Amino acid sequence: MSRLKAFREQQNLTQEELSKKSGISARTIQRIETGKEPKGHTRRVLAQALEIEENELLQKEPKQEQPEISPGKEETKEVALINYSLLKLINLSSIPFIIIPPLNIIVPFVLMLTLKQKNRFTKQLISLQILWTIIAPIVFMLGIFLKLGNEFTMIFIILIVSSNVFIILRNAIEIDRNKKLYYHLNFNMI
């Protein structure tokens, strides 16, 4: 399988969709996928459309892992190809478990590990759920301590849960449209 085809399929794009996204003809994409090496402008535009480095289109087989050894440490860092369909599944898996806060973290985490999608996006999604799970009870307790009444407390619960549903759905839309997260943190908690 060619590198271009591997990256295109990883992002769930058809040849026609990649053609529209990059401005390169579908016929040229077909030729590259059957063995012709992309040159200059074509390689640059396809790499930009797929959000990868140009030289990644030149290698024969896609890398699933690339070990990086730090001086004095023997760490390996996974460089996994991102499957956006699985990323959306992991993101949306939090919704049924919003009312049972530990599960809105555990279920996406287990999916991340079983689907082998340990990348910066999934870490961000799970970190958002961890942060929400920490902040939501604190905000809820503040509402109770202010003693504003049962009606207000119920509205407060609905607003807290709705905010998380909104964050999850907005990220799912952004993953689908632009292959990135709309809401993200500048740090990871996992």
How many helices and strands in the chain, by DSSP H and E? 8, 0
0.85 exceeded by pTM: no
What is the mean predicted confidence (pLDDT) over 67-85?
A: 50
More confident residue, 66 or 55: 55
Q: How far apart are CA 173 and CA 154, in angstroms?
A: 28
Task: Report the alpha-carbon distance of residue 19 to residue 26 in Å, rounded.
Answer: 5
Give Cβ neighbours of residue 86 (< 8 Å, ≥ 6 apart): 111, 115, 117
Any idea where the domains of the chain sit in the sequence? 3-57, 84-178
Short-list 63, 8, 64, CA closest to 33 = 8
> What pLDDT is recorded for position 145?
82
Q: Which CATH class is domain 3-57?
A: mainly alpha
Q: Read off the pLDDT band of 62 (50, 70, 90).
A: very low
